[in-house]
Structure 1
Amino acid sequence: MKPTNQTVILGFHLLGLTDDPELQPLIFILFLSMYLITILGNLLIILAVSCDSHLHTPMYFFLSNLSLIDICTSTITIPKMLVNIQAQDQTITYIGCLSQASFALLFSGLENCLLAVMAYDRYVAICLPLRYMVIMNPQLCVLLVLLSLLISTMHALIHSLMALQLVFCTDLKISHFFCELAVVIKLACSDIFINNLLVYLVGITFFGVPLFGIILSYIQIVSSVLRITSVEGRYKAFSTCGSHLSVVFLFYGAGFGVYMSSAVTDSSIKNVLASIMYIVIPPMMNPIIYSLKNKEMKEALIYFIVGISFE
């Protein structure tokens, strides 16, 4: 049988967080709780934005899209892990593994682009307030989301097509709770130089450009806010950016942790913990951050849940 045909029938083994059977129930309960919190929190954000006419603005349109992305990010990783623990079966098919890696790239890339779009939205709102509704019109908002989706899909597709060229032989055990691309590439017995080069060069460019856009936007925002003479005006301007900045620090901080852990150490435990911070924690924390730091969102959620209006 040819090596290239062999990969069609191969499967992988997701070793998860631990091989200790006594810890498996605890891990199952912990991740199930985090997944339910993630789904519930982000669904509440989407429903609150949809039902409250006061939140039908570009900022909350992007926020609801971010919540949808967070739901998708958690759904492609955590349920498979929970099923494996419950069934005591660590296997995942070859196609299933590459699909999971591809969708993880897609949704993390989409969040990366959307955070840059949200930073641009805050820049226009604070630096060009009189032209805000003209610039950030509904057509542009939809176009920015679609453009983010297109760029993220191309990024994920490049890595996925290159991963399909790899040949896997033996020792197909993944020391992880999901198929992360960098971990899967290390299992290949064919030449992985081009794949690793793409992971670092394309990855750094793809995530670096939006991050640079975010930094540039906030430099302009800070410069504009410092020219406001009123302390109350400055506080109001900064408060509109607080939630977004918190999410940016959480997302890129966790992502940088994953990159550094994989580059500096070969410890599978450290890599897995870093990936948890990147793929699990941000989707769970984002709705909490926005509901706690944003007065309008907090009021909309209270009204949606208990029917108390603040008007």
Structure 2
Amino acid sequence: MAEEKKYVRTKLQEKQIESAIDIHGRDGKIEDAIFQHSVLCQTFFPYRDPGERTIWEHTQGNATLAVQALQAINPQTKNFEFVGIPYGAKARLISSYLNTKAIKSKTRIIDVADSMSGFIKGMGLNTDGHTFAAVKDQLRRLSNSVISLGYCEDGMNAKQVNFSIVRSYEFWGEKTKQPALWNSTIELSQDYFESLQRHAIPLDERALKALANNAMALDIYCWLTQRLHRIPFGKPQFVAWAALKEQFGSGYDRMDKFKAVFRKTLSMVKLQYFKAKIEEEKNKGFWLYNSPSPIEMKSISLIGLDLPK
């Protein structure tokens, strides 16, 4: 078992190195772009399964993200049942996949019947039955969730936005023998689709593929991508360890343990986003400097996307 784990780690490292070499040799173009909503680049889904909880909250600074699980119809019992809150790396990858399909096709109706298995392979995930089942589970959870984002500025005034990513969907039943394990059509909500076109963050698919098995790495990469290019030249911004733990370390009780994991994960991210200028100030936090986006902005303009400033 130890040898098997060592082998898996080595294969993951090889994939990350290969991706980094490719990214170093060629800047990201529109064909490399995969998109995430800016909200989900700053506040995130849980890393682990929240179990039977029907609402999950995460506070970061003045913003609080709440993800509420809705009930889904069970075709066998004809009863509505809670399917759970989306979590982990796969939920993040699937949401970016849906975003990308919607943006590049310019439609909020997405047919994933033939393309999801290709997406799974493209992300470097296993293509066994267990992985397909896990991806389908996360897709169903995303399709039955409401996201609320609240801002509390002065202890008295608050602003809140509620939206569902998916308006409607169709899934085959579990007894289907189709090779992809399911056929589905997903319709994004009009509000989310319009918001996505204003607030989509272009990510490099090569980087996501390399980080596909690590939810924290995906979150750090998305966070840096949406933030660094907006920092004014010559005016670096400082982020303290306490703020980083609040944003990325909800599952860690001890600061020293979180620091060790964050530093290790950040080094993985910087390998994929080598243009990210971020420097640690010992025992205090990190300085963030203006850095170019992983995807060339002029190539993104070709599809007429209104990127957030």
TM-score range, shorter chain: under 0.3
Which structure would you say has the larger RCO, counting Cα contacts within 8 Å and 6 or more residues apart?
1
- TM-score, length of structure 1 as denominator length: 0.24
Larger C-alpha radius of gyration, 1 or 2?
Answer: 1
- TM-score, length of structure 2 as denominator length: 0.24
Greater share of helix residues, 1 or 2? 1
Greater share of strand residues, 1 or 2? 2
